[in-house]
Amino acid sequence: MTIKGMSVGVGVFLILACVWFYPKLQALYLTIHLFDEDRIVENFRSAKTIWPTKRLEPSSQPYRYSVDLRESLPTSFSYDEQNYVTQTFLKDSWTTGFLVIQDDVIVTEDYFLGNNQTTQNISWSMAKSFISALIGIAVDKGQIDSIEQTVDVYAPMLKGSGYEGVRIKDVLQMSSGVAFNEDYGDFYSDINRWGRDFAIGNSQDDFAASLKRGVNPGTKNHYVSIDTHVLSMVLSRATGLSVTDYMRDHFYEVSGMEHEGYWIADGANTEMALGGLNLTLRDFAKIGSMYLHGGAFNGKQIVPQQWVKDSITPDGAHVQPGADFGYGYQWWIPPGNEGEFMAMGVYNQYIYINRATNTVIAKLSANPHYNDVTYTPASDWLHLALFRALAHQRDSH
């Protein structure tokens, strides 16, 4: 080959390399800067411009809540013997959407920072509670025989990993025993390694299969987001459908979802089950209303009643609420006796349910100071105090 021919060949190779790598490098750059203060709000409502997506079509029979905006927010609320001004707290926690439902009626609905009633916003870890619901449906249909089975029965590629021999139930309860660092503030943590891996399109299945055992399964509640991805591996292999297709057929349509939703996906077209669900605020709230009513919503029993009960009832010493939140099947359980439970996502996303007061609260946020432990408005406990004040607001009338 002549030098000229070699030069042309090298040039073609470099062009092809740029075409191949540039989208990956761009996605990686956007992921690294996803939570920057000047970008976070827009990024949280624009996930489909950053990653591949899988669409959920609106229901053919959308359910629309009754609306009676009769309740104004309390001027203030208290926590740990301190008072907080409600509107200031909502602003300082970078709230983008706030919804209060009492007795199945929307009594408060507000949007901030450019979001509105049709904005699709990323869920982060609130998506985990939706995955739990889908697992419960699959168990009820006999597609998953039992949560006492081990995850590698359905996902054999997990054999040899930290997930081999781990019960589905232990994974549901974030007690898989897998060693994992979930610190979002640590650039080199496992969760941030996973995030960079996801950004460049690598397989989440492969990442899950690379993890190792830390402690014995079922003995310690240790939050591992990849546990939820493993649940999605079980779900998709047990049912023969992707998470998106199964959710569309058995949850999204029958729940009467008003607006289009979507999951973001990796390079293998696999959903980011651990946090990549994007819905409107009202559609997020519907799983709260559904679980408030024992899995029934829109005139249908969607999630089995027993599954809902089991999901929000911690049944082992290692998952009980106390100094920290307890944990069910991908639901957080606050201490107390009012039948409260919550879906929670990083950067202050919440779906709060209080069965004693018939209350559902949904809050979307884009708090760039979430990882600053000294920044009070990022506190889950402070949010819980606000939600409780709202749930009991009628008591003071």
Q: What is the pLDDT of residues 277-336, one digit of tens each?
A: 999 999 999 999 999 999 999 899 999 999 999 999 999 999 999 999 999 999 999 999
Cα 14 from Cα 18, distance rounded (Å): 6
Tell the burial category of 272 from Cβ atoms under 10 Å away from its Cβ (0-12, 13-18, 19+). Answer: buried
**Treating both helix axes as pointing N-terminal to C-terminal, what angle do 226-239 and 127-140 enclose, rounded to 10 degrees?**
30
- CA-based nearest residue to 77, from 361, 368, 371: 361
Structural domain of 302: 40-396
Domain-located, residue 29: no
Per-residue pLDDT at 88:
98
Instruction: Compute the average pLDDT of residues 149-156.
Output: 98
DSSP β-ladder status, 66-67 and 105-111: parallel
Domain-located, residue 33: no
Domain-located, residue 30: no
Task: Please give the tally of structural domains in the chain.
Answer: 1
Under a CB-based contact definition with an 8 Å cutoff, are residues 149 and 171 in contact? no
Domain-located, residue 158: yes
Domain-located, residue 12: no
What predicted TM-score, i.e. pTM, was given to this entire model? 0.93
Domain-located, residue 4: no
Query: What φ, ψ does residue 124 adopt, rounded to 5°?
Result: 50, -135
CATH number at residue 89: 3.40.710.10
Domain-located, residue 96: yes
pLDDT tens for residues 49-68? 989 999 999 999 999 999 99
Domain-located, residue 11: no
More confidently predicted of 31 and 254: 254
Average pLDDT of the chain, as a whole number = 93
Cα 358 from Cα 104, distance rounded (Å): 8
pLDDT tens for residues 13-30? 445 444 444 466 666 666
Contacts for 89 with CB less than 8 Å, ≥ 6 apart: 77, 377, 382, 386
Instruction: Compute the average pLDDT of residues 92-108.
Output: 97
% of the chain residues with pLDDT over 70: 92
> What's at 315, amino acid-wise?
D
Per-residue pLDDT at 24:
63
